[in-house]
């Protein structure tokens, strides 16, 4: 109350040596490592608890080649915060009822020390506790329910952050680990949300199942877990795939699609998820029972295109999804592990340059460390860069696709030699890394494989997934009444209509979602307009890209609260 | 800042908790005691002071031994460091005046034996007594300034003054800003909203909460009970003997008798319904 804001002079503001925004894996790693260096660190997280805003598939990898893994920083992580380790890994190539299954364990185990399934509410809230303990020792701590809404600048230079719930805070070092829709990365002009082809959209259902039943139906023992991936024609022409991972006593089942493809196909994300859930192949695991605990969604950056090569501005660095550091290695998704690595490196970079008068010293060092540790090389594979820059990429793809679609091509895939070669190719990190982002990789090839080599699935899948309305109804919201966090800038259908389909909690002809289209008659002419109600919003970020909006996160503790994630 | 928070137990009037005897009288012995609802707001002001300025907070209550549960509740809520219960058969049946004498004696003893006090916080009215006298009378006994109906509070420890916003109720609500020297007695309004706009304050809040969770487990180790002898109070001035207020009698509030006659009509009976319509016609208007 006594704090007075004097014009421009921010001497009165609180000061912390480091401020970390976001307490996901990236923020947690950065903060823990900063505290280990004895640096006073304040962590600001907008959720009621860390994890309450987060979604992942999610398999967290500990790569042999990574400079930091999550259990390096948090030794009890696997016992305390993770679900089951993945001991079995399969991909199913689907063509209608024809399915060819490949064992992908080799690919999965390439460069992998261990890999566990996680649920983000459990995982992140556990991390939050550890991070709070660590950072408290050096004079900081974790505060939840605080949304950072911008950067504090002095003479144009970044010197701190501004928040909804707190007075501005000055900091010598700012780590933006605020995830895929990073408001800080945008405020610093480092990232934008412009092109749908730079992003994926992930949608997920957490399904209740007793541990014993899981062991039984997936033929595993306690302490074992499986991962199943799905590709082929079950999503029609939308480019992407599905996954199923076993947790302690739940299943994580979801889909990840290229956002541009979702938009182009006018596909409804929840229907694509349902296409997976109701496929005959899944009947073997459900046995007619289906109890969905939570429906969730979030954008995923495609590091090949958006991982920032120099993720810093002044004393601000970007870590994890905020810097686009989410690697889709073919069907394997690696975001959390890279966020951990980047967070820890960002902390080390600051410790090494502490006291340097140049505010960008740490950012430059961090960039070098990302390169030298090989992290940037994984995020932006050179092979991909080379092919895509010459524009050859598309050509190659088109050619391959043409061949595959031709009678000759399909015969080739159906060839007995191909039957032996294809599983090998799928398990090659090199080849999988080369898979172009076209329907060739996602649909044509897998469905051909399914068709040529597949066995017919005879099970009947009789489960009925909940409707969108029921899914929304089951979520917990703390609505910020009268204070919508997303504003529609252009309500014409041309500008914002894509959100009616692509928003995971909206659908055409569904009045209870966020986006609705309606035809309005004005002076004899008809116009199709879009309207927005943010109440059911799950804060996935899709409409920041596909519609013309002014997009922000809700205030601290407001909005959706995931219990599983 | 060193503060004392005065809090009181009241019968739990929430659904299902209240016990009545055959004649419909409240059975206090069987009805659980909870913290006076308005005290919660007073506690928030004390907590805000503690969070922003550090120091020490003690909870204090006068009542039967069972009131220790109220002090325990207070500890959980305002993270008080310790608790003082003024309890003694001789203190039973005190009115607000005798209560004020007892409380002020306890605050003085606390100042002599424990530590100086900068602020005493009390809630606004109790749910069972509804007089609102105890606070002002206690302040008067202590010869301290008192600020009531406080909705926002700021303390300047260097200048040793407090600035408060008070909600002054009249035909229209007005907000008055006042300044008072410390030590001071503060009665908070139910509209009191604590604000924590500094990260340091929120971190301190979190630290206090964690520390309190452990302390509450050994609540009894942090509870001191004082009787009238400890407080050097003459029994003439306390309890029933020291209570000048005479409650002449307590009348149950009679139910307003119905002055109108009622006729029951079966809606299925068309003749009856016709009668209803006829009766209503004069009121229908426009006809
Ligand atoms: C469906 C799906 C499946 C996925 N599968 C996998 C997988 O199997 N394996 C894998 O490794 N990765 C997977 N990912 C990606 C992975 O979830 C992310 O890459 C990872 O979470 C990134 O971590 P992060 O710390 O950068 O950001 P996040 O985990 O998103 O954390 C950001 C944090 O910042 C907070 N925050 C945001 N804005 C603010 C603000 N303004 N103020 C304060 N706090 C803020 C958020 O509440 C959140 O806690 C998947 C993603 C999705 C959506
Ligand atoms: S309104 Fe936008 S951010 Fe919210 S769920 Fe829909 S697409 Fe996602």
Cβ contacts of A207 within 8 Å, gap of 6 or more:
A250, A251, A252, A253, A290, A291, A292, A293
d(CA A293, CA A253): 11
* Residue numbers in B near A143 (CB within 8 A): 199, 202-203, 206
- Answer yes or no: do B199 and A136 touch at CB < 8 A: no
Mean pLDDT, contiguous 10-residue spans, chain A (565 residues): 42 92 98 98 98 97 98 98 96 94 90 97 98 98 98 97 98 98 97 94 98 98 96 91 97 96 96 97 95 98 96 98 93 94 98 96 98 97 68 60 71 78 78 68 84 90 97 97 96 96 96 94 89 97 97 98 98
> For A42, which DSSP code?
E
d(CA A473, CA A494): 30
Beta bridge partners of A255: A203, A242
Give the model's pLDDT for residue A7.
44
Q: Which residues line ligand 2 (CB under 6 A)?
A: A 486, 499, 503-506, 514, 537-543
B63 touches B207 (CB < 8 A): no
- Answer yes or no: do A146 and B202 touch at CB < 8 A: yes
Give the model's pLDDT for residue A436.
61
Residue B244 has pLDDT above 70, yes or no: no
Characterize B203-236 residue by residue with b for buried, 16 or more Cβ atoms within 10 angstroms of its Cβ, and e for exposed: bbbbebeeebeebeeebeebbeebebeebebeee
Q: Is ipTM beyond 0.95?
A: no
Q: Closest ligand 2 atom to the C-alpha of A538?
A: 5
State CA A319 to chain mean position distance: 14
Q: Is B209 on the interface with A (CB under 8 A)?
A: no
Q: Is A370 on the interface with B (CB under 8 A)?
A: no
pTM for this entry: 0.89
Residue pointed to by tokens 């209803």: B276
Q: Is B179 on the interface with A (CB under 8 A)?
A: no
SS3 state of residue B247: coil
Give the model's pLDDT for residue A236.
86
Locate the chain A residue with the closest alpha carbon to B152: A1
Give the pair of three-digit tokens for residue A517: 């289209």
Q: Is A168 on the interface with B (CB under 8 A)?
A: no
∠ CA(B57), CA(B63), CA(B67), 5° rounding?
65
> For B219, which DSSP code?
G
Q: Cis before residue A92, ω within 30 degrees of 0?
A: no
* Backbone torsions φ then ψ of B260, nearest 5 degrees: -100, 155
Give the pair of three-digit tokens for residue B130: 């509804």
Q: Is B160 on the interface with A (CB under 8 A)?
A: no
Checking DSSP bridges between strand B56-62 and strand B2-6, what pairing results, if any? parallel
d(CA B135, CA B100): 7
Q: Which H or E run contains B45?
A: helix B39-53
Q: Is A167 on the interface with B (CB under 8 A)?
A: yes
pLDDT winner (highest mean) among A340-349, B114-123, B139-148, B168-177: A340-349
Mutation to test the A interface, candidates B150, B199, B209, most A Cβ within 10 Å: B199
Residue A335 CB–ligand 1 contact under 6 Å = yes
Calculate the alpha carbon distances from B156 to A242, B122, B163 in Å.
61, 20, 8
* Residue numbers in A near B154 (CB within 8 A): 1-2
Cβ contacts of A386 within 8 Å, gap of 6 or more:
none
d(CA A366, CA A343): 10
Strands (E), chain B: 2-6, 9-11, 33-35, 56-62, 82-86, 119-122, 146-156, 161-168, 174-181, 184-188, 223-226
A242 touches A282 (CB < 8 A): no
Instruction: Please give the average per-residue pLDDT across B241-266, as a whole number.
Output: 60
What's chain B's Rg over C-alpha atoms? 25
A272 touches A203 (CB < 8 A): yes
Distance B197 CA to ligand 1 centre (A): 27
Residue pointed to by tokens 């505060």: A143
SS3 state of residue A323: helix
Write the pLDDT tens digit of every residue in A130-185: 999 999 999 999 999 999 999 999 999 999 999 999 999 999 999 999 999 999 99
SS3 state of residue A232: strand
* Residue numbers in B near A165 (CB within 8 A): 197
A542 touches A270 (CB < 8 A): no
Give the model's pLDDT for residue A444.
82
* Backbone torsions φ then ψ of A115, nearest 5 degrees: -150, 125
> For A529, which DSSP code?
E
d(CA A46, CA A478): 13
- Would you place residue B246 in the very low, low, confident or very high pLDDT band (cuts 50, 70, 90)? low
Q: Closest ligand 2 atom to the C-alpha of A549?
A: 2
Residue A59 CB–ligand 1 contact under 6 Å = yes
Minimum distance, in Å, between the CA of residue B186 and any CA atom of chain A: 18
Q: Is B156 on the interface with A (CB under 8 A)?
A: yes
d(CA A466, CA A468): 7
Residue A169: which of B199, B206, B207 has the nearest Cβ? B199
A397 touches A403 (CB < 8 A): no
Cβ contacts of A467 within 8 Å, gap of 6 or more:
none
How deeply is A545 buried, as exposed, middle or buried, from its count of CB atoms within 10 A (0-12, 13-18, 19+)? buried
Instruction: Give the end-to-end CA distance of chain A in Å, rounded to a whole number.
Output: 38
Checking DSSP bridges between strand B2-6 and strand B119-122, what pairing results, if any? parallel
Q: Between A and B, how many residue pairs show a Cβ–Cβ distance under 8 A?
A: 35
- Answer yes or no: do A14 and B203 touch at CB < 8 A: no
- Would you place residue B136 in the very low, low, confident or very high pLDDT band (cuts 50, 70, 90)? confident
Give the model's pLDDT for residue A6.
39
How deeply is A547 buried, as exposed, middle or buried, from its count of CB atoms within 10 A (0-12, 13-18, 19+)? buried
Distance B3 CA to ligand 1 centre (A): 44
* Alpha-helical runs (H) found in B218-240: none
What's chain A's Rg over C-alpha atoms? 23
Nearest C-alpha neighbor of A507 from the set A273, A268, A238: A268
B8 touches B36 (CB < 8 A): yes
* Residue numbers in B near A44 (CB within 8 A): 199
pLDDT, chain B, mean: 83
A137 touches A37 (CB < 8 A): no
Give the model's pLDDT for residue B131.
60
d(CA B284, CA B287): 7
> For A173, which DSSP code?
E
Checking DSSP bridges between strand B161-168 and strand B9-11, what pairing results, if any? unpaired
Write the pLDDT tens digit of every residue in A258-272: 999 999 999 999 999
Give the model's pLDDT for residue A2.
38
Give the model's pLDDT for residue A1.
40
Q: CB B193: neighbour CB atoms within 10 A?
A: 11
Characterize A133-172 residue by residue with b for buried, 16 or more Cβ atoms within 10 angstroms of its Cβ, and e for exposed: ebbbebbbbbbbbbbbbbbbeeeeebbbbbbbbbebbbbb
Nearest C-alpha neighbor of A66 from the set A320, A341, A295: A341
């Amino acid at each position: 109350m006594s704090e007075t804001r004097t014009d421009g002079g921010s001497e009165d503001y609180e000061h912390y040596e480091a401020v970390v925004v976001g307490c996901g894996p990236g923020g947690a790693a950065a903060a823990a490592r900063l505290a280990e260096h004895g640096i006073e660190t304040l962590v600001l997280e907008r959720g009621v608890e860390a994890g309450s805003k987060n979604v992942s598939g999610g398999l967290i990898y500990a790569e042999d080649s990574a400079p930091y893994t999550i259990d390096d920083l948090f030794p009890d992580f696997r016992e305390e915060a993770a679900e089951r380790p993945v001991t079995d890994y399969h991909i199913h190539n689907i063509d209608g009822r024809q399915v060819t299954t490949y064992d992908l364990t080799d690919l999965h185990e390439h460069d992998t020390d261990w890999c566990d399934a996680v649920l983000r509410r459990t995982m992140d809230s556990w991390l939050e506790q550890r991070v709070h303990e660590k950072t408290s020792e050096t004079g900081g701590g974790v505060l939840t329910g605080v949304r950072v809404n911008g950067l504090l600048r002095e003479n144009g230079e970044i010197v701190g952050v501004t928040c909804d719930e707190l007075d501005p805070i000055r900091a010598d070092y700012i780590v933006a680990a605020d995830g895929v829709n990073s408001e800080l990365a945008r405020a610093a002009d480092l990232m934008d949300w412009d092109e749908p082809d730079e992003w994926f959209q992930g949608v997920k259902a957490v399904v209740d199942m007793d541990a014993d039943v899981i062991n039984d139906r997936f033929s595993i023992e306690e302490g074992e877990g499986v991962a199943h991936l799905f590709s082929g024609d079950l999503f029609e022409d939308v480019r992407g795939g599905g996954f199923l991972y076993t947790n302690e006593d739940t299943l994580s089942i979801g889909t990840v699609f290229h956002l541009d493809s979702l938009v182009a196909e006018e596909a409804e994300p929840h229907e694509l998820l349902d296409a997976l859930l109701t496929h005959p192949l899944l009947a073997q695991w459900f046995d007619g029972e289906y109890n969905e605990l939570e429906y969730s969604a979030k954008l995923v950056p495609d590091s090949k295109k958006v991982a920032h090569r120099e993720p810093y501005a002044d004393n601000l660095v970007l870590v994890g999804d905020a810097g686009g550091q989410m690697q889709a290695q073919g069907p394997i998704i690696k975001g959390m592990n890279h966020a951990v690595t980047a967070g820890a490196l960002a902390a080390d970079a600051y410790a090494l340059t502490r006291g340097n008068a140049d505010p960008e010293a740490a950012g430059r060092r961090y960039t070098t460390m990302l390169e030298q540790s090989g992290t940037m090389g994984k995020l932006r594979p050179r092979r991909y860069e080379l092919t895509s820059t010459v524009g050859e990429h598309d050509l190659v793809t088109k050619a391959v696709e043409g061949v595959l679609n031709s009678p000759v091509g399909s015969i080739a895939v159906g060839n007995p030699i191909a039957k032996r070669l294809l599983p090998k190719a799928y398990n090659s990190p090199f080849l999988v890394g080369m898979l172009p982002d076209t329907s060739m990789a996602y649909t044509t090839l897998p469905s051909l494989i399914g068709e040529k080599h597949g066995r017919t699935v005879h099970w009947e899948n009789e489960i009925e997934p909940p409707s969108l309305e029921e899914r929304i109804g089951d979520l917990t919201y703390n609505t910020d009444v009268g204070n919508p966090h997303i504003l529609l800038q252009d309500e014409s259908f041309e500008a914002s209509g894509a959100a009616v389909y692509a928003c995971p909690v909206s659908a055409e002809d569904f009045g209870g979602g966020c986006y609705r289209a309606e035809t309005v008659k004005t002076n004899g002419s008809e116009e199709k307009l879009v309207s927005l109600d943010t109440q059911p919003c799950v804060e996935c970020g899709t409409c920041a890209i596909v519609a013309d909006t002014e997009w922000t996160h809700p205030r601290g503790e407001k909005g959706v609260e995931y219990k599983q994630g | 800042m060193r503060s004392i928070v005065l809090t009181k137990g009241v019968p739990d009037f929430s659904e299902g908790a209240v016990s009545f005897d055959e004649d419909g009288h409240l059975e206090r012995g069987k009805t659980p005691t909870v913290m006076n609802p308005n005290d919660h707001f007073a506690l928030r002001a004390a907590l805000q002071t503690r969070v922003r300025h550090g120091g020490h907070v003690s909870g204090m209550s006068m009542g039967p031994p069972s009131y220790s549960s109220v002090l325990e509740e207070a500890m959980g809520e305002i993270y008080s460091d310790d608790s003082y219960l003024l309890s003694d058969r001789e203190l039973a049946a005190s009115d607000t005046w005798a209560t004020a004498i007892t409380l002020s004696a306890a605050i003085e003893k606390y100042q002599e034996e424990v530590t100086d006090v900068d602020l005493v916080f009390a809630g606004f009215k109790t749910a069972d007594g509804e007089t609102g006298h105890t606070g002002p009378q206690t302040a008067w006994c202590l010869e301290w300034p008192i600020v009531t109906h406080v909705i926002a509070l700021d303390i300047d420890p260097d200048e040793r003054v407090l600035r408060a916003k008070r909600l002054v109720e009249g035909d229209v609500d007005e907000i008055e800003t006042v300044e008072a020297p410390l030590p001071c007695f503060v009665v908070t309004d139910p509209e009191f909203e604590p604000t924590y706009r500094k990260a340091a304050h929120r971190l301190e809040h979190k630290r206090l909460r964690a520390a309190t969770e452990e302390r509450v487990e050994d609540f009894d180790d942090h509870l001191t009970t004082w009787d009238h002898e400890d407080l050097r109070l003459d029994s003439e001035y306390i309890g029933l003997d020291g209570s000048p207020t005479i409650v002449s009698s307590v009348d149950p509030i009679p139910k307003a008798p119905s002055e109108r006659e009622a006729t029951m009509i079966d809606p299925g009976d068309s003749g009856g319904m016709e009668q209803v319509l006829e009766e209503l016609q004069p009121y229908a208007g426009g006809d």
